[in-house]
């Protein structure tokens, strides 16, 4: 515990640091005020909404040391399972890549379809992080599966209605090799155009993030500037100056239509917006990426999202379709117990009957320890 003198000293030191940063805060407030002319009120609409979400790695990690499993499950907002994989850091990455194709080379999974469409036949060719040098490749693989299901949904499915597809996370990624991420975005947009041309159906793609570096950096400045205090649900495009201030990667922030000199936007297929779905100044502000080539339809897209967000639960004023996908995609409670039991049983079979009692004893000891804290 700090004593009284230490608290006084801390108060002085903190005050000095805040005073030193005041000039920077004033600069950020000016950046935020520059948004004001671009703020637009959302006009509500209604549409079919579909969300994709890869369940959180923390929820789907199962360990019985030294064995560790990552259960990858991608589910849409209606509960349809689009991808199910189980991998571990000890998995053979080359064999995992071959598993995405039939013996004749035809793609058999959503990931295989994306790899085929991008002209790669190995996971290492798809992402440099799939080399196996770090055990974190299993999380990269999970993200690749999520992008693949999104790609498959847009490029290989039919739509009976105008549909808004919502990804939990921005339309930006650093995990793809070279220009493959942008190439994937181009193929998805071509599919969207084909759907509109052949079936007269509109499909929109957006990505929404609860937290982003640019929003956290400017949150205080936005509140102080009051740029969204207009009593209505509203949105505004994030200026390039703000993105440059918050991020150091040009290829992550530059619009794909930007042909000026410098790093090309190989990590980005979206245009970033700040959006507030509630009418009050205290309502949460989210960061949303609209597919860059659909920028002109921002008003319609946010109208559909706002209608869905009003019904959001348990997170208020956050798209309900994402929350539904989240609840369906989680592997927890009884499902997780079943997976853990299957892992222990598999280890028990591997060590043989002579050592099986050792595994049973370990399982019992861990169960008793866990129950102590329930």
> What 3-state DSSP class applies to 280?
coil
Beta carbons of 54 and 142 less than 8 angstroms apart:
yes
Q: Residue 313: its pLDDT value, please?
A: 86
> What 3-state DSSP class applies to 208?
strand
Q: Residue 54: its pLDDT value, please?
A: 47
Mean pLDDT by 10 residues, the chain (374 residues): 85 87 90 94 81 51 71 86 88 95 94 97 96 89 94 92 91 95 96 95 92 93 93 95 90 81 84 96 94 94 92 90 85 71 77 76 57 44
Q: Residue 63: its pLDDT value, please?
A: 66
Q: Residue 370: its pLDDT value, please?
A: 46
Beta carbons of 71 and 83 less than 8 angstroms apart:
no
In sequence order, the β-bridge partners of residue 50 are 165
Verify cis geometry, omega within 30 degrees of 0, for the bond prior to 314: yes
b/e sequence 335-365, b meaning 16+ C-beta within 10 Å: ebeebbeebbeebbeeeeeeeeeebeeebee
Q: Residue 15: its pLDDT value, please?
A: 87
CA atoms within 13 A on the CB side of 250: 7
User: What would you report as the CA-atom Rg of the chain, rounded to the nearest whole angstrom?
Assistant: 24
Helix spans in 281-355 (H):
298-309, 320-329, 333-351
Beta carbons of 121 and 83 less than 8 angstroms apart:
no
With left for phi above 0 and alpha for psi between -120 and 50, is residue 200 left, alpha or beta?
left
Helix spans in 228-280 (H):
240-246, 250-253
Maximum separation of any 2 CA atoms in the chain, in Å:
76
Report domain extents, the chain. Answer: 48-329, 333-372
Cα torsion through 121, 126, 128, 133, rounded to 10: -60
Cα torsion through 128, 131, 136, 139, rounded to 10: 60
- Tracing tokens 């999974």 back to the chain, one arrives at 109
Parallel, antiparallel or unpaired: strands 163-168 and 48-54: parallel
How many angstroms separate the Cα of 300 from the Cα of each of 65, 186, 296, 297? Answer: 50, 22, 9, 6
Q: Residue 59: its pLDDT value, please?
A: 53
Q: What's the rounded Cα separation, in Å, for the pair 352 and 342?
A: 16
> What 3-state DSSP class applies to 222?
helix
Spatial neighbors of 56 by CB under 8 A, at least 6 apart, are 330
Q: What's the rounded Cα separation, in Å, for the pair 86 and 240?
A: 40
Q: What's the rounded Cα separation, in Å, for the pair 325 and 337?
A: 21
Residue 165, H or E segment: strand 163-168
Q: Residue 81: its pLDDT value, please?
A: 87
Q: Give, in degrees to the nearest 5, the angle at Cα 88 between 68 and 208.
A: 100
């Amino acid at each position: 515990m700090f004593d009284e003198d230490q608290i006084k000293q801390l108060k002085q030191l903190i005050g000095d640091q805040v005073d030193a940063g005041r000039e920077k805060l004033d600069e950020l407030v000016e950046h935020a005020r520059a948004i004001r002319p671009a703020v637009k009120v959302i006009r509500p609409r209604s549409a079919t909404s579909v969300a994709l979400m890869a369940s959180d790695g923390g929820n789907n990690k199962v360990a019985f040391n030294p064995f560790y499993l990552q259960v990858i499950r991608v589910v849409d907002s209606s509960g349809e399972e689009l991808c199910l994989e189980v991998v571990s850091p000890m998995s053979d990455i080359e064999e995992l890549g071959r598993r995405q194709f039939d013996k004749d080379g035809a793609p058999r999974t959503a990931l295989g379809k994306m790899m085929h469409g991008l002209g790669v036949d190995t996971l290492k060719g798809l992402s440099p992080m799939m080399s196996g040098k770090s055990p974190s490749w299993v999380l990269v693989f999970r993200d690749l599966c999520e992008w693949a299901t999104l790609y498959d949904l847009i490029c290989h499915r039919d739509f009976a209605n105008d549909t808004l597809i919502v990804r939990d996370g921005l339309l930006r990624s650093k995990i793809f090799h070279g220009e493959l991420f942008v190439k994937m975005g181009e193929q998805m947009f071509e599919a969207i155009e084909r759907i509109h041309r052949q079936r007269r159906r509109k499909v929109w793609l957006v990505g929404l993030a609860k937290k982003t570096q640019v929003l956290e950096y400017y949150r205080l400045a936005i509140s102080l500037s009051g740029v969204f205090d207009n009593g209505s649900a509203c949105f505004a495009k994030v200026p390039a100056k703000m993105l440059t201030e918050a991020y150091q990667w040009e290829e992550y922030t530059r619009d794909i239509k930007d042909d000026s000199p410098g790093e090309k936007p190989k990590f980005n297929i979206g245009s970033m917006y700040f959006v507030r779905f509630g009418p009050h100044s205290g309502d949460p502000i989210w960061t949303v990426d609209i597919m860059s080539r659909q920028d002109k339809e921002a008003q319609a897209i946010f109208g559909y999202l706002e209608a869905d967000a009003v019904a959001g639960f348990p997170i208020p004023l956050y798209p309900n379709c994402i929350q539904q996908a989240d609840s369906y995609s989680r592997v927890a409670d009884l499902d997780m117990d079943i997976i853990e039991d299957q892992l222990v049983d598999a280890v028990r079979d591997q060590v043989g009957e002579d050592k099986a009692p050792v595994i049973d004893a370990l399982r019992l000891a861990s169960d008793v320890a866990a129950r102590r804290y329930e």
